[in-house]
Amino acid sequence: MSESIPKIVEHIFPLEAHENRQRLLQTGNLNLTCLKNVFELDWGRKLEQDTFCSGLLVSEIFQLIFGSTLLNVNIDSSAKNLLADYMSKIASSSGGAFPTLPRMDWQRKSRIYSTFYFLALLNLLDPHEYFLSKNKDWSRKTSLWLLSLQEESGLNEGAFREADCPMSITPENTFWAIWSLSYLGKSENDGELNVKIKKALSWVSDHFLHNRRGWSVTRLFYAVDTLHLFGELPNLSNEMVMDVQAFVRSMDTLEGYHEYPSSVKEGYREEITRHHSCLHSGLYANLLLKIIGNHSFTTNDLTILVDRFLTKEGYGTKVKIKEYNYGPISTIFENMLTTVTFLSACP
Amino acid sequence: MVHIDNHGGVGDSLGFIDLNELLKCCNGNVEVVLNDLGVTTVLKRKYQWASTGDYTEIRPEDDLSKMVRLPTKIYLTPRLIAFIGLYDGDGNKARKGGREIGFSQREINIHKFAYDMLKEVFNAHFLTKWSILEDTRRFETPEMEKEIERIRFEMTNGPKETNTSLVDLQREYVRREFLQSARKIGMTIDESQLRTPVISPKKGARAAGNSSLEYIQNLYGSEKFLTLWLKMVRICTDSIISNTQTTDGLVFFGKPHTFSLLTLNVKDYMQNLKWATRTRFGKYTIKEIDDKYVAIGKSAKVKTFIRRELKLTPFFFLVAGIYLAEGDTKKDNFFIFEKTYAPLNIALTSSEPEYIAAFIRMLETMGKQLFKSWKVKVGTKYEWETEELAQRMGVITLRAGEKGQGYVRTLELDKELRNWGLANYPSLESYSNLYHHTEITGVGIPRVHIQAVTQIAPYLVSLIRNSVFNFSNVITHTSRSNEDQ
């Protein structure tokens, strides 16, 4: 597993990494070494604190294993055995996957994002799709459940949302849903599925991008990456491409990339609010500009971008509300995204 | 052996602030650091002072024409300690700078208490001015429209075609309402003390008919003494919470967590307690357990273990005041629950780690397993920061309901905000397994909510109310105990 990454997982992010990975690891690039240490530490922490799977979320497990695989970090074989059992427990009998082993009843609900991470992890661990071939009924139910979450009419026709969360119509959810659907459905040559995916792509380009409302760096990344993965990017108008580029560049400030325009927060609050620069926004911005235009970046560029976010626990944004620290110092996802972006840097 | 002074007949004092010492220690340069709602403010002011035995005259150095003459020793009675806790929660803290000593609340009994205490502390040096704030939405019902029409008629003695504007009538309504409720509890307020009421569509009411009423009392002309007063509030609060007996200018007669002059006989107190239910009156069922605990229940079933004795320490009175300001119990219910059915709940929501720690400690000193659960609350106002947290974990914020209120459905966020709570509120460590969920609310910075078991609600609501407002009710079930153990 540590030697090869299934192509489909590499494609979650626009990663042209395989050759870069080998070469960069061999040259002992400082930041990759640092990241490798971080992932080794993460493994240590997770194995100690969470007795592995019981406290972990499927998203974290995917991010940890994906990052470790990219960096050739050794994964304990006992952990791999535990994973098979864990995955069978979080696969819902009604389709989809729970984010983790539920502690309470209200947590016993499949989510689009957790199903996406479940499938991506499955693909990492089981590239020959043994689980899916053994669990055809689960695959079918998962596809049907995901399709039931697509808006069938109205302004957001084609978008996906969680049934109990009306505000969850986002490019991220739509990306995760159609990635999962296409992954599950690709062996079935499903014509209807293609129609559904087309509708989702239309929502992304004709509604989310076209309306120019609710834009943020992350959302734009997922919107553009969705079109990129499904071959729709060339159909985007030049004007739209320029608007997206302009928006993303306008988020680049002296202290780093912001996720939102400052006017969004200021319009809502009376008090002066600290406006963060975010590591993930900077990384997404570079990946997005690379997909959409001829933007290129080197590992040196990235080193400058990410250095201010380096802590003793890894890379991370300090989110603040007023003077309060809000949230963890560093997340596995930030470390993984940093790794992915580094590996995508131009030679 | 400590010498215990008596003060004024409102109970024995538990310590004192020596103004002369307080000012001498800092050479008149008073500095106070305030942490309030996620913002740290440092206030500084230089004072000149002259102590003449029993009294000290204090003047701000930048305006020597202003002076207050206060007792050199301000005795920390139970009521004053409770008021300091209350002020720390609901008092003006000059976050926007240049404000008067003042206090904001909607419950009139609590205002009267604050009024009496401020008058006592400041030796009636300042005239109190009152402000009233309300939301226009309160007047958007047919009943309120009738009321407003009635006032229009009274004021103008004529039909609608007059020059009196709607907002003037709304102001008159809240003005009359305030004066009437003040009169009911024996407060006489001269109309000249009333500032023009503010009726605003942005006050915070969410729906037609909802009120967002707030009364504010300010000590007129007291701006230059705010720093000194806040210093007194902070040294008292900090000393009690950190269990420090003496600090610059402040002395307690024993350790604030354990020293008391009175010990409450809890069993006797509870036996005499009753509260109105929907159909009848409720009383506690009490069962003997051992020499330390009794088991209590609101029905025949007893399941909550309460200490038989409760020492009424400076810590207890401070937390009672803090709870009165910050607690989730509806303020009106403190005063009506014995006669009228009023749902009682004991819970505290706060962004301040010291309040959370103090509340937990109070529950621990009162009985066993009184802490039921805790959760993290964060306002929609901070949805961008919350979304950034989700993005940092490769997920999105999932919020149930059309408006997104309620449980956060993203378990990654739920887990991280639990960890955030544990990291920022160390006193929660022993209760990490009692975390319930994270909730998105209307406004408010990230904060922690602690829910106590419901069985103790009538006991604690009554005890807080009596110990702050009506001390004699408590005294009848106490014994004197000045040992410090």
Decide which of B402 and A231 is more confident: A231
Which chain A residues contact residue B437 at CB under 8 A?
106
- How many CA atoms within 13 Å lie on the side-chain side of A245? 14
Measured CA to CA, the distance from residue A222 to residue B40 in angstroms comes to 38
Q: Who contacts B431 (Cβ-Cβ below 8 Å, separation ≥6)? A: B360, B371, B374
Condensed to tens digits (0 to 9), the pLDDT of residues B16-62 reads 999 999 999 999 999 999 887 777 889 999 999 999 889 999 999 99
Decide which of B206 and A231 is more confident: A231
Condensed to tens digits (0 to 9), the pLDDT of residues B242-287 reads 999 999 899 999 999 999 988 999 999 999 899 999 999 999 999 9
Min Cα separation B416/chain A (Å): 6
Condensed to tens digits (0 to 9), the pLDDT of residues A114-164 reads 999 999 998 888 766 777 888 889 999 999 999 999 999 999 999 999 999
Measured CA to CA, the distance from residue B481 to residue B471 in angstroms comes to 17
Measured CA to CA, the distance from residue B379 to residue A77 in angstroms comes to 43
Does the beta carbon of B402 lie under 8 angstroms from any beta carbon of chain A?
yes
β-pairing verdict for B15-18 and B250-252: antiparallel
Tell me the C-alpha to C-alpha distance, in Å, between residue B317 and each of B1, B75, B84, B118: 23, 14, 9, 17
pLDDT of res. B442: 76
Min Cα separation A138/chain B (Å): 23
Amino acid identity at B376: V
Does the beta carbon of B393 lie under 8 angstroms from any beta carbon of chain A?
yes
Min Cα separation B395/chain A (Å): 7
Tell me the C-alpha to C-alpha distance, in Å, between residue B16 and each of A30, B6, B56, B254, B314: 61, 11, 14, 12, 11
* Interchain pair B396, A172: CB under 8 A: yes
State the burial class of residue A318 (Cβ atoms within 10 Å of its Cβ: 0-12, 13-18, 19+): middle
- Does residue B310 register a pLDDT over 70? yes
Condensed to tens digits (0 to 9), the pLDDT of residues B426-477 reads 999 999 999 999 998 877 889 999 999 999 999 999 999 998 887 665 666 6
Q: Report the number of secondary-structure helices (H) and strands (E) in chain A.
A: 17, 6
Instruction: Tell me the β-bridge partners of B91.
Output: B103
Condensed to tens digits (0 to 9), the pLDDT of residues A265-315 reads 665 555 545 667 999 999 999 999 988 987 888 878 888 888 888 877 778
Q: Which residue of B has its CA nearest to A161?
A: B398
ipTM of the modeled complex: 0.90
Q: Which residue of B has its CA nearest to A273?
A: B382
Give contacts of B 423-482 with A, CB under 8 A.
424, 437, 445-446
Decide which of B338 and B99 is more confident: B338
Q: What is the mean pLDDT of residues B52-79?
A: 94
Whether the pTM exceeds 0.80: the reply is yes
Altogether, the residues listed in chain B come to a count of: 485
pLDDT of res. B1: 26
Measured CA to CA, the distance from residue B193 to residue B366 in angstroms comes to 42
- Does residue A44 register a pLDDT over 70? no
Measured CA to CA, the distance from residue A326 to residue B382 in angstroms comes to 11
Strands of B136-249, DSSP E:
198-200, 214-219, 246-247
Min Cα separation B397/chain A (Å): 8
Measured CA to CA, the distance from residue B317 to residue B310 in angstroms comes to 12
Q: Residue A138 is encoded by which pair of tokens?
A: 């689960």
